[in-house]
Structure 1
Amino acid sequence: MSDKEEMASDGSLNVTLTLRLLMHGKEVGSIIGKKGETVKKMREESGARINISEGSSPERIVTITGPTEGIFKAFSMIAQKFEEDITAAMTNSNVTSKPPVTLRLVFPGSQCGSLIGKGGSKIKEIRETTGAQVQVAGDMLPDSTERAVTISGTPQAITQCVRHICSVMLESPPKGATIPYRPKAMPAGAHAVLAPQHHAQAFAIPGQYAFAHQDLTKLHQLAMQHIPLPSLGQSHPTIPGLDASAHTSSQELAIPNDFIGCIIGRQGSKINEIRQVSGAHIKIASATDGSPMRQVTITGSLASISVAQYLINARLSSMLTGLGVL
């Protein structure tokens, strides 16, 4: 048995792994805590090594290394901390539904195929088993062979999702050398898409990893694979009566007036992008006199509605936690 392997308490093999997270300054500050107390507690209780990259970049890399159980504990604590942040942000707001916790993994591109599975089967299985949303970016992160993998849901769902991801990493090791993603410092005076308080030129999903525009269609395609329906491109679905394109549903959301602008965007830019990515028809009702809420109706296939809700929640979550670009 190598020095990187040990027996877990239940007798199973406990292997040392490393997972990398992409975070922004405010997220990093949250897990560091006052005088580093929060991250110190996470290290002590999880037994995992948690290292945070230095630099002036708006993005930071958080590296978590340890036995698999230690990694699960560290992720559980980080997700729980972000959940507390969202709850605290909601205290003084009128938002009716709690946005999901979102973490962004930096994942070797050579292992992404195994994570997605044939025809999206693996990623669909993970989503259905854990209840977490999982999205894999279509393109590599700049100057690297890694991709962003966004996981979103309750802290419990995220932790279960990480268990599945670790299994994929162990079963399908990376092929060839991995060129790690290193965030670059923001040039002085630059309008960074990823920096808080700046207007983004690309649509940003939860946690504010901004996808280039060409990735939006790939996000949509991946989302299509997440539901137990045949491919939308099939003219003759393998399961009769489950052609998603032919079955239209409708979902209504109530969104506070104060936040409707963040969903619409400048001159309707954000709502138009959400419509384009999801393929859903989205109607925002006019403001009712005296009502603090606006009715939003989403119509389309189950897949389209799911993607639209996911992206709308992303905007709300970003605004609530102060991480987002409006």
Structure 2
Amino acid sequence: MENSKVQSEGGLNVTLTIRLLMHGKVRQTLDKGETVKKMREESGARINISEGNCPERIVTITGPTDTIFKAFAMIAYKFEEDIINSMSNSPATSKPPVTLRLVVPASQCGSLIGKGGSKIKEMRESTGAQVQVAGDMLPNSTERAVTISGTPEAIIQCVKQICVVMLESPPKGATIPYRPKPASTPVIFSGGQAYTIQGQYAIPHPDQLTKLHQLAMQQTPFTPLGQTTPAFPGLDASPPASTHELTIPNDLIGCIIGRQGTKINEIRQMSGAQIKIANAMEGSSERQITITGTPANISLAQYLINARLTSEVTGMGTL
């Protein structure tokens, strides 16, 4: 076993790709262009960070195995440095471990776990790192998250062992890679152009929806953005009102309604849509929300409701 590995590394200089999943504050560490540039130069590995307005990013590290180990070492030490810096402002005394999440094709996870968990147990014992393979695949993919935590040294040893397993047991069949979903960015229509909200900005969103919307707009008189149409009866310049229905879990409805209805009123005012929340049905864990208005009103109301849900869910003791 050991021989074939040495030959493959020496003879073919095997190039491997390892994917890492990062989120939240963690990825800001690497987002600073200089940090990644320095890591690329010093390790010799290709390091790419996925683009997009997503709460998660995929960091792809490609190169001969030795360059991958160097890159991982740099990332692990960089994260440790960040932990130490953040601790200088906190009363905590014990240093939390560095945690990295790899994204591995599910077809290779069996080899990582080993018969009856023997391989993963051996990795934990020989490196001192905690290793966990997620039971479920990541959404819309055939990949699983493998979480490694421990000291930078333990993580580097663990990554080396994982690379050996991945080289010896290539993925079977086609892998559908995990692609992080954007933070809910609905499309908002204005003046025949579709926009997605990114942060505080509306970004033009050229896609099929725009074309469909432009077709819809041709049926009605067209108003340039920024001009308001006087509401004369008979002068139907705005697209006809339509209705959209959503169901929201009961336990999250409170964050949308707000104290004494403050939040829902705010959403009504900002979106210009009519929003009705049905009473709780006996035996149902969900509530029906009906949004009525123009497509633009409805899109904006949906966006604002999603934004409330996202901040509520991400604020609830998740990572």
> TM tier, shorter chain?
0.5 to 0.7
CA contact (8 A) 1:15 1:68 kept: yes
Tell me if 1:76 matches 2:80: no
TM-score, normalised to structure 2, is 0.57
TM-score, normalised to structure 1, is 0.56
Separation in structure 1 between the aligned mates of residue 78 and residue 311 of structure 2, nearest angstrom: 21
CA displacement, residues 215-274 of structure 1 (integer Å, 9 cap, x when unaligned) = xxxxxxxxxxxxxxxxxxxxxxxxxxxxxxxxxxxxxxxxxxxxxxxxxxxxxxxxxxxx
The one-letter amino acid of 2:22's match is M
CA displacement, residues 274-293 of structure 1 (integer Å, 9 cap, x when unaligned) = xxxxxxxxxxxxxxxxxxxx
The one-letter amino acid of 1:199's match is G
Tell me if 1:171 matches 2:287: no
CA contact (8 A) 1:6 1:15 kept: no
Separation in structure 1 between the aligned mates of residue 308 and residue 164 of structure 2, nearest angstrom: 35
CA displacement, residues 146-198 of structure 1 (integer Å, 9 cap, x when unaligned) = 00100000111111110000001011110100000001112144369997993
1:146 to 138, 143, 148: 143
1:64 to 53, 61, 73: 61
Separation in structure 2 between the aligned mates of residue 132 and residue 194 of structure 1, nearest angstrom: 32
Larger gyration radius, structure 1 or structure 2: 2
Match of 2:21 in 1: 22
Unaligned stretches of 5+ in structure 1? 209-326
Match of 1:53 in 2: 50
The one-letter amino acid of 1:16's match is T
Percentage of pairs with the same residue: 72
Match of 1:297 in 2: none
Separation in structure 2 between the aligned mates of residue 175 and residue 193 of structure 1, nearest angstrom: 38
Match of 1:199 in 2: 315
Tell me which of the two structures has the higher relative contact order, counting C-alpha pairs closer than 8 angstroms and 6 or more residues apart. 1
* Shift of residue 32, structure 1, vs aligned partner: 3.0
Tell me if 1:118 matches 2:234: no
**Alpha carbons of structure 1 residues 195 and 79: separation in structure 2 relative to 1, 3 Å:** farther
RMSD: 2.6
**What SS does the corresponding residue of 2:13 show, helix, strand or coil?**
strand
**Alpha carbons of structure 1 residues 193 and 180: separation in structure 2 relative to 1, 3 Å:** farther
The one-letter amino acid of 1:146's match is E
| Count of residue correspondences | 196
**What SS does the corresponding residue of 1:185 show, helix, strand or coil?**
coil
**Alpha carbons of structure 1 residues 192 and 122: separation in structure 2 relative to 1, 3 Å:** farther
- What are the equivalent positions in structure 2 for 1:1-326 lying under 5 Å apart? 14-33=13-32, 36-187=33-184, 188-189=303-304, 190=306, 198-200=314-316, 204=318, 208=319
CA displacement, residues 4-25 of structure 1 (integer Å, 9 cap, x when unaligned) = x9989x9576310000011114
Unaligned stretches of 5+ in structure 2? 185-302
